[in-house]
Amino acid sequence: MTEREEIQELRKEIQIHNHKYYILDQPEISDYEFDLKLKRLEELERLHPELYDEYSPTVRVGGSVTKNFENKNHPNRMYSLDNAYSYEELETWYRRCLNAIRDETGREQIEISCELKYDGASINLIYENGKLGSAITRGDGFQGDVVTANIKTVRTVPLELRGDFPASFEIRGEVILEKSEFERINNERSNLGLATYMNPRNTASGSLKLQDSGEVAKRKLTCLPYAVAGENLPFKTQIEVLESLAAFGFKIPDHYRSCKNLNEVQDFIAYWAERKNNLPFEIDGIVLKVNALEDQELLGATSKSPRWALAYKFESENAITRLVDVVYQVGRTGAITPVAQLEPVLLAGTIVKRASLHNKDQIDKLGLCFNDRVYVEKGGEIIPKIVAVVSSESERDERVSFIEHCPECETPLSRIEGEAQHYCPNTECCPPQIKGRIQHFISRNAMDIDGLGSETVSQLVDEGLINRIEDLYQLKAEELIVLDRMAQKSVENLLEGVSKSKNQPFVKVLFGIGIRHVGQTVAKTLAKEFGSIDQLSQATFDDLVAINEIGPRIAESVLSFFALEPNQITIERLKQEGLNFEVIQNDQVQKKQLFEGKSIVVSGVFSNFSRSELKQLIEELGGKNVSSISSKTDLLIAGDQMGPAKKKKAEALNIPMLSEIDLENKLKELSDQS
């Protein structure tokens, strides 16, 4: 056997043993024998660098060093899940899903897949032709950090898939650290006199961003996949997805179940609530998903979460500590948030020193006094909050009273009728508001200005170089180069990033200028409805609330924003700088507004379109997708198996219906016109 042949043989053999040991838990050789084979392969690969293979088992050992992790978009967004903390919330979600599917299909029953909610760090694995192309952390759901070299050291992640897999798709999973491995790492650190890690979840998350992949390999992370994403995938149900992932070579714990009704779902939750501590890894709840992927597509998603999935969280851990002080933070909109300063206490694996008190009403409701002993728990096991006062002593310290003046600029606070929040009205001169607005403007989801971060914004404001967002476009190199931590290259990158931001589309500019209550989704809706900042600024209250998704609170906020002279000045100055304040459309697109201004419901099953393709097409042709039929609905696009209730309602309201064939004919007419 030649050394080339030996390398190929060892690679195949080691991959087989890896799968049997880490995935099937059925080792056939000893660790010693396995190590000998791996070392022999490493030796041969060093002698023959021309035979390098990025999918060789030796990459599991690590060794590459990444100084800066590239940021990359997810091909398909990674949503977060809505949470439930009681069976009542669970039942509400279940009934809502069932009713929507009944309206669409007439079916009276849905299956729910139940899975353990692994407590780790989410990862997106992208496979091309069965080979691991890249691994991206969840980040903000739209984009994350590329950690491919580190993920390759995780032996439960196949470098090459087995069996009959899609040509190109994404696999979503959770990277975890099993309890035994966490204890081993901490014992080693303790013996070396190093600080121990707090919990497996944080350790797993931090491990993904270690610069040395060799160090990652030593931590023996595990990846447990739970979902797939991509176009035209062959799977029909979530259970089929999990079974297919196991066939592709992933480790899938046999702890999932398809439930035919709500009682079975509750039984599954109760079973694991009692046994969660017996698992080799940590979980913090149960993930529920409508099992049929066709039903998932039908239900769709909100701007943040899929409607077809829910995370049922187990009861939060709590601890008792002492309230030391209350400080007040000022947000970019002037909102005042009280924050409790606590005696440090261990809670759910982390040291907690602070907890949100939300607003004045919450402080009054708790009846807090300084130095009170208080119950603290993690809301959703993430954000600490005070839930009750333990103290019952007759002599208590001074009562906590909500402040009357801004802690930063001493301006008397105001409170908008109907809102719980207090605000500092000094929008033009209050430092945290000035910095917050600019930091929001430059953020990734707004103007996405490279070379400019939050700390630099604070520095520029403190130095008096900027005071409003439009001041960014007047910055000069000679002003910046004299500042601390500003080298020539940093200055060039900052100014280039500011200049490039002028090309951002209107919807990003609209989100970036920071109208209260106007998030990304609302900004998209407003940009589409009005087309330009001029049209939006002239809109009346009635114009705004007539738009689906725009309620009175958002309408009032938009009107208040444009009524203020400083905001009018900002917009005019940004226009002069060349920013986009209108939706740019070419002539061809303008001719194709088939559904201009129409609210459209899509229902049923289609032969030549997926529901997502159809909804995207509606938006491209000027229409707005709405989920339910009402008197405001302009059109119903009806496929096969449309729910009889929905059809009956549409007929009663005299809403026009368009079949798939009718739609294709209209699209052909448009194509012929162009």
* Strand partners for 351: 346
Q: Hey, what are 552's tokens?
A: 């009175």
What CA–CA distances, in Å, run from 358 to 336, 337, 361, 363, 386?
A: 9, 6, 8, 8, 10
Q: How many helices (H) and strands (E) does the chain have?
A: 25, 22
Do 226 and 252 contact (CB within 8 A), yes or no?
no
Please state the φ and ψ torsions of residue 53, each to the nearest 5 degrees: -140, 120
Q: Is 20 a catalytic residue?
A: no
Measured distance between the N- and C-terminal CA atoms of the chain, rounded to whole angstroms? 65
Cα–Cα distance measured from residue 119 to residue 287, given in angstroms and rounded to the nearest whole number: 12
What CA–CA distances, in Å, run from 421 to 378, 456, 516?
A: 22, 29, 13
CB burial of 555-581 (b: ≥16 within 10 Å; e: otherwise) equals bbbbeebeeeeebeebbebbeeeebbb
* Catalytic residue from among 39, 117, 152, 666: 117
- The string of DSSP letters for 580-598 reads --B----HHHHHT-TTTT-
Nearest Cα to 514, choosing from 445, 583, 413? 445
CA 522 to chain centre: 17
Cβ neighbours for 353, distance < 8 A, ≥ 6 positions apart: 341, 342, 344
Please state the φ and ψ torsions of residue 402, each to the nearest 5 degrees: -65, 140
Do 101 and 295 contact (CB within 8 A), yes or no?
yes
Rounded to the nearest 10 degrees, the angle between the axes of helix 552-563 and helix 565-576 is: 70
Do 513 and 570 contact (CB within 8 A), yes or no?
yes
Do 117 and 287 contact (CB within 8 A), yes or no?
yes
Q: Which residue has the tokens 């501590």?
A: 277
Please state the φ and ψ torsions of residue 324, each to the nearest 5 degrees: -90, -45
Helices (H), ranges, 383-453: 431-442
Q: What is the dihedral of CA 209, 215, 216, 217, to 10 degrees?
A: 160
Count of C-beta atoms within a 10 Å radius of residue 624: 19
In terms of phi and psi (left: phi > 0; alpha: psi -120 to 50; beta: otherwise), the region of 210 is beta
Q: Which residue has the tokens 């447990």?
A: 224
Do 636 and 623 contact (CB within 8 A), yes or no?
no
Cα–Cα distance measured from residue 554 to residue 509, given in angstroms and rounded to the nearest whole number: 18
Do 404 and 413 contact (CB within 8 A), yes or no?
yes
Largest Cα separation within the chain, whole Å, is: 87
Cβ neighbours for 674, distance < 8 A, ≥ 6 positions apart: 588, 591, 592
Cα–Cα distance measured from residue 328 to residue 340, given in angstroms and rounded to the nearest whole number: 9
Active site residues: 117
